[in-house]
Amino acid sequence: MSNKERRILLIPKKIVTADDQNRVLKKHAVDITNGIISSIIPIEKVIKENYDEVYHAGHLTLIPGFIQTHVHLSQTLFRGLAEDLPLLDWLRLKIFPFENAHNKESLKVTAQLSINELLLGGTTTMLDMGTLRYGEVVLSEMISAGIRGFSGKCLMDLNDLYPSFKSSTKDEIKDMLNLAQSFHNSDDGRIRYSFSPRFVLSCSEILLKETKEMMKDFPGSIYHTHSSESKNEIEEVRKRFHKENIEYFDSIGVLDDHTMLAHCVHTSDNERKMLKNRNTRIAHCPSANLKLGSGIAPIPEYLKAGISVTLGADGAPCNNNLSIFNEMRLASLIQKPIHGTEVMDAKTIFRMATIEGAKALHLQDEIGSIEIGKKADLVLIDLDSYSNSYSDNEDAIYSDIVFSSTSENVKSVMIDGKWVVKEKISLIYDQGKLLSKGKEELYELLKRVKC
């Protein structure tokens, strides 16, 4: 073994691969060499002396790291402070004033709180919608924490809801370019830039189009925005442009397979055809859609049409947590009274949170399933306390994960073959110090808020 090579062997009870065959393996171990899954070996062929670390997890199930395709790291500090409001009032009265009051220190601690929560809950990759200022703070924290993902400053050159929370078109384009040049594909490609117009009502047409044009210089980036979330939002879009939300996006040429639209709760038949024809991705956030009273997105219809749908927790002030388990469970259950009990089965939901998330972000060759050659972004989860492990039905394991589990069942998490959570303890953050710092920064931020 060379001095530079590091090998880890994981020996779980079961392996849920999320590969093309949906294999669930028993009595196999996973060999990780320098952060890459180098082999999946029958246990009887394992030679333990060949490894730097052997992790015996005979009571745990190994799954791919979860992938969330829409979160707001900048908002976790505001958890519980924006309750019982519809979307536009929620933005106008609470979220825009709070985000406007961020300084670098408060933004750093809210990013830390968010990433800590995501990692402890088994999310290893995420697509973040940044805030207006200090985008470098969030991206730098992602690098330091070891999480995989995309982030980009939130673009706003219009804001009738809260006029002081915006910037000039020229400055938005300049800042976006500087951040993309500094951070895209940084840390061996683990961190990528996402070009992130907030939504139609906060961006001029030139900003929306220039952002899409700039992406061409940054292969692998994502165009990330909100769309068709609430009826009031859509009515305002109609007044301004005499088009539906997605029709407007299509008319200015920003829809394609590298566009991620969060929500898409209310869409017309014509818009759904556009989503399909442009191969545009949808990030479904069921908890946020319910809490803000926005509605229930027609996800089974999207899936039937062949439209990519993945999952995200959105932000802590409209959820109120960042657990992928909440989103998986709700994504299934809210559709069954509408479309029938057979829709949105547990296996479909699990794949939406793993390999389909990777495909939506064009990372399917790197992450999203447990296969040889992919990066070791992995989660060990305890299903034994309630599992149907005595059953011969392999599909029962998906039900255990989607309907029975919570973040509390996550035991250990690795990214690129490096432990970030081990035995439910973060190896990145000191929980006590982080919570204390969060309280201090929130207290100071609230003194800066101008409503």
The 10s digit of each residue's pLDDT in 144-156 is: 999 999 999 999 9
Tell me the Cα Rg of the chain.
Answer: 21
**Residue percentage of the chain with pLDDT more than 90:** 94
- How many helices and strands (H and E) does the chain possess? 17, 18
CA torsion angle 64 369 373 420 (round to 10): -20
- Whether the model clears a pTM of 0.85, i.e. scores above it, the answer is yes
Tens of pLDDT, residues 350-400 = 999 999 999 999 999 999 999 999 999 999 999 987 655 555 677 899 999
> What is the enclosing helix (H) or strand (E) of 169?
helix 169-183
User: What are the φ and ψ backbone dihedral angles of 411, each rounded to 5 degrees?
Assistant: -105, -45
d(CA 286, CA 311): 8
d(CA 154, CA 203): 10
**Residue percentage of the chain with pLDDT more than 70:** 97
Q: Which two tokens stand for residue 69?
A: 């395709």
Compute the average pLDDT of residues 307-315.
98
Which of the four pLDDT bands, split at 50, 70 and 90, describes residue 14? Answer: very high
Domains, the chain, ranges and CATH?
A: 7-65+369-426 (2.30.40.10), 66-360 (3.20.20.140)
Per-residue pLDDT, 288? 98
How many residues does the structure list for the chain? 451
Compute the average pLDDT of residues 250-277.
98
